[in-house]
Amino acid sequence: MRVLKIGGNELSDPDFIALLGKSAAYLINEIGSPLVIVHGGGRAIASLQTQLGLETIKVDGLRVTDPESLNVAQMVLSGQSNKIVVKALLSAGVDALGLSGVDGGLLRCRKKEHPTADLGYVGEIVEVRSDLLDKLVSLGLTPVLSPISLGMDGLTYNVNADEAASAVARACRAEELVFVSNVPGVLYEGELVPSLTAMEVEKYIKKGIINGGMIPKVRSALQAVASGAARVRIVNLAGLLTGSGSTIVAN
């Protein structure tokens, strides 16, 4: 099994969506690799927040989520973004099923704590129903997951999609976790960095080479590696099938 995390920014690009469907079909039908897909939706969330007069606030790349922003995140992630991905896969012949982390209690979380800010209704995954995901995959289905998750306290939380994908990959013992981004990987002075250790990641963050939304991405990759993920890669869709991108290793 492979777990693909799809960046929300790419979901507004029709060419990306079409290529995503074809790539998923190739991995499943030609390579024989079943998939679980986790997606974001950051750009669409920010756009709808702006239309509604809500301010977008981020801390270390994580979206601060008050009750109004949570409603927006649910509408965009579990509604609009999820169905964009599902339709693309179905159009390519992939039998896709769209779900959120709330459905079936697939993703259970607790409130995420931050040393300098209250993130609001932002969660971190503590349990994944890998048994249910395995069952869906065994039926020939490709689960497409929105990272809106169910709290252990019964509340609904927005979870960073990179972190959700990492948790799913660990729980399902995926062969590979792939963060499909809008960049070919981690870049240094315009050149692709093919491999990064934990120490190098922290050094690049301190220097500002890795910044913004890439910070939770690489840290999620490191967490997945530390928890036993066989392989973690950050890549764009063009490099997905060629094996390029930046591979994150333990040390």
The H-or-E segment that residue 238 falls in is helix 237-240
DSSP 3-state of 5: strand
Structure tokens at 218: 């690489």
> Beta-carbon neighbour count of residue 78 at 10 Å?
22
- Residue 106 pLDDT: 98
- With CA atoms as reference, report the closest residue to 54 among 73, 40, 39: 73
Q: Give residue-wise pLDDT tens across range 174-219.
A: 989 998 987 889 888 888 999 988 889 889 999 888 888 788 778 8
User: Which pLDDT does position 223 carry in this prediction?
Assistant: 80
For residue 60, the model assigns a pLDDT of: 79
For position 71, what pLDDT does the model report? 94
Give yes or no for residue 110 having a pLDDT over 80.
yes
Least confident of 65-74, 76-85, 182-191: 182-191
What confidence tens digit (pLDDT) does each residue in 219-242 have?
A: 878 888 887 777 899 998 888 888
Give me the chain's average pLDDT, please: 90
pLDDT at 134: 97
- Rounded CA-CA distance 118/240 in Å is 36
pLDDT value of residue 212: 80
Predicted pLDDT at 231 = 82
Contact 224, 170 (CB under 8 A): yes
Cβ atoms 225, 218 nearer than 8 A = no
**Long-range contacts at 190-197 (CB < 8 A, ≥ 24 apart):** 192/244, 192/245, 192/246, 193/246, 194/245, 194/246, 194/247, 195/246, 195/247, 195/248, 195/249, 196/246, 196/247, 196/248, 196/249, 197/249, 197/250, 197/251
Q: What is the pLDDT of residue 125?
A: 96
Query: Once rounded to an integer, what is the mean pLDDT over residues 43-66?
Result: 85
Cross-strand pairs, 232 = 177
State the first-to-last Cα distance of the chain, in angstroms, to the nearest integer: 24
- The structure's pTM equals 0.89
* 241 vs 93, residue with greater confidence: 93
If you average pLDDT over residues 83-89, what whole number do you get? 96
Q: What band does 7 get if pLDDT is binned at 50, 70 and 90?
A: confident
Could you tell me the pLDDT band of residue 72, with boundaries at 50, 70 and 90?
Answer: very high
CATH architecture, domain 2-176:
3-Layer(aba) Sandwich (3.40)
- What is the domain partition of the chain in residue ranges? 2-176
Lowest pLDDT segment from 133-147, 166-180, 203-217: 203-217
Helix, strand and coil content of the chain, in percent to the nearest 5, comes to: 40, 25, 30
